[in-house]
Amino acid sequence: MRTRRPLDLDTGSDPTSMILLDGTIKQCLEIGRTRLLAAGLVFAMAFLVVGLRLVDVSLLTDGNEPRLAAAPRSNALETIRADIVDRNGVVLATTLPTASLYANPRQVLDPEAVAARLSAALPELPGAELAAKLATEKSFVWLKRKLSPRQQHEVNRLGIPGLYFQHEPDRVYPHGALTAHVIGFAGMDNRGLSGIEQAFEERLRGATRPLALSLDLRVQHVLTEELAAAMATFRAIGAAGLVLDAESGEVVAMASLPSFDPARPGEADDDARFNRASLGVYEMGSVFKIFTTAMALDQGAVGLQDGYDVSQPIRVASYTIRDFKPKNRWLSVPEIFIYSSNIGSVHMAMDSGTPAQKAFLGNLGLTRAAQIEVPEVGQPMVPSPWREINTMTISYGHGLAVSPLQMVSAVAAVVNGGQLVPATLLKRGGGERVVVRRVLSARTSRDMRWLMRLAVQNGTGRLADAPGYLVGGKTGTADKLRGRRYARSARIASFIGAFPMDRPRYVIFAMIDEPKGIESTHGYATGGWVAAPVVRRVIERMGPLLGIQPKALDEEEGADRHLVPVNLKGTVFAAN
């Protein structure tokens, strides 16, 4: 077996050799110790530099701009915002987490190259603008707020030093422009800036319980679609419509066209953001004859069997009031309403009197701004002073401008038994007590339901008749003011109706702004040709959605006979 020979350190008996060996060992140890100290010092200095840089980035600022590690952070409560839902719980507005892109320009080595690569990934960001931001001496600049997950992924793929993400909440509107004018929108800081978002800022911020609106998204879709179709057909500049629950005052649908994307309100023009349904005020034309007739009947100025000679135009100073399609004979009150006689309406208003007209319209809420939750509410244009000529023109819908929202609320009171119910955009609970105010008698309301039904069966509103739904209503066509004159070529065409007239549940209004006549309407662009069909189609589509089935023909005829006032049974009112 092979053995290892021990190292022989024996240098003999020479003491000098022993001393030299000991010195060599000590020298080696000293050199090693020195090298270790030097290495330790280098590492310590490196850690010190890194530590100082972290302190600089994290704690120090160069003015008002936040630094890299101090990117803006939202308060925990501010990141929470309650959902907004429709009456059936469908989400109309919600909050989702998102990422915003920012940069520390001090860490960007080549601003132009980085800007070019980033602009390729995010084409909506101009390269020159990005390069300018990245070339500053600041340590924090926003590049793009609220990126989509795909956009965030594209930026991450670039792997560019100096680019970072800040996570923040994003208000999302799943149905886009469909409910934009009602819901409104929130700003970059997630605070409401219009509509329900603004009106209920305190209720929504920091809350988790959804805010339930009175809207039914299904009906909202139907109304918006039909208004848009009419706009396109008649080459109109705008449209508005509402569906109101006649008993509860709940707004089931409210549409204004053109609309806008609430996620990008800055990209829309003023006209698109303007809410024609609640903020716009218009001279409504002959739909106002509903109020003139109801006033005269309610105050006893006329009865249903009374009438007037409408064969001669009415001349007041330089004004001449005439009928669109004159009958040139005596007309009863029902005929005045059915044939939409301006002359007959003026006679009824004058027999009622100016003070009575002013008070009656005021009681219906037509001379003051509508009371509703959203801030976008128009102030009606009321004549001052209210002269006799104003009483005449207002009787047929000129000289007083109101909003569509005011119209549906007032007509609901006319048909629901005479009670003015405050309109609301919030869903009302079954046991909620609502303060109502009587504005006309139940008998007048019953008579008006019959007259409105008659106007659809035999009058100017025939195209609004949805079989089986007992639709009643009134057409309106009003010339628009252009400076100090009315322009015959620029009109508001409208129809307001209710159904079923034996017990009205919903009031529906459709308004088309500046429609143009087409061949199928023989060149006409009136409320009867333009707006009445919109209401018919809305009723035919929304009825089944809300569980209202059309009556069979015999049931409809029976209900129609029941609507006729007792003292007029057997009287025939036929179109001629």
Residues with catalytic function? 286
Q: Tell me the torsion sign for CA atoms 93, 94, 96, 100.
A: positive
Type of residue numbered 129 = E
- Rounded to whole angstroms, the Cα distance separating 427 from 415 reads 22
Q: What is the CA radius of gyration of the chain?
A: 38
Among residues 494, 513, 497, the alpha carbon closest in space to that of 457 is found at: 497
Alpha carbon 276 to its chain's center? 10
- Rounded to whole angstroms, the Cα distance separating 462 from 268 reads 37
Query: Coil, strand or helix: which one is 60?
Result: coil
Query: Coil, strand or helix: which one is 204?
Result: helix
Give the pairing type, strands 437-438 and 419-420: antiparallel
The secondary structure of residue 61, as a DSSP letter, is: -
Where on the phi/psi map is residue 481: left (φ > 0), alpha (ψ -120 to 50), or beta? beta
Q: Tell me the torsion sign for CA atoms 353, 354, 359, 365.
A: positive
Tokens describing residue 504: 């009205």
- Rounded to whole angstroms, the Cα distance separating 235 from 259 reads 16
Which ranges of 264-401 does DSSP label H, i.e. alpha helix? 270-273, 289-298, 333-338, 342-352, 354-363, 388-395
Beta bridge partners of 512: 239, 493
Which ranges of 430-547 does DSSP label H, i.e. alpha helix? 442-458, 527-530, 532-545
- Rounded to whole angstroms, the Cα distance separating 163 from 156 reads 9
Alpha carbon 415 to its chain's center? 27
Q: Is residue 362 a contact partner of residue 368, using CB atoms and an 8 Å limit?
A: yes
- Rounded to whole angstroms, the Cα distance separating 414 from 364 reads 9
